[in-house]
Amino acid sequence: MNPKILLRIASVLMFLHMIGHSFGALSWKNAPDPTVGRLISSMQTTHFAFMGRSVTLAGFYEGYGLTMIFVLLLISVVLWLLSTATGDLPARLLPLFAVFLLFLGIIESIYFFPFAAGISLLAAVCTFIAWVIFRKKASFV
């Protein structure tokens, strides 16, 4: 298979991951039941001092969620740009991206849920295979 197509598949997978994550990150305060609602309320109202500021766990949770939206978008854009790159740049960067996506998938499988992990792991596989193909093509040149 063409490495360009594999990287674009990985890019689209991560873009879809970003869209799904955005829905979750922007609607996490909508409690599905009263017990979760009380927990969310407690996360929003219990303040503690951290690095000279009064913060809440809800603020951290929301901040990490918003940050991940941009991280996932960045990954998607860089994978798309790498799909059009020439020379040895893809061969140098793709192993880093494949490992990053692998660890992201592992972390998501431990702390979140299988669907998110599956998307990241599929993107890692596509990126790894694209790297292998890039390496093979470079060795024949």
Burial of 135 per CB tally in 10 Å (0-12, 13-18, 19+): middle
Question: Stretch 87-100: mean pLDDT, rounded?
Answer: 88
Specify the range with the lowest mean pLDDT, choosing from 2-11, 82-91, 98-107: 82-91
For 113-128, what is each residue's pLDDT tens digit? 899 999 999 999 999 9
Question: How many CB atoms lie under 10 A from the CB of residue 105?
Answer: 21
- For residue 68, CA distances in Å to 34, 73, 87, 92, 104 come to 27, 8, 30, 24, 11
DSSP symbol at 28: T
Query: Please, what is the average pLDDT of the chain?
Result: 92
The pLDDT-based confidence of 23 (bands split at 50, 70, 90) is very high
For 54-68, what is the mean pLDDT? 94
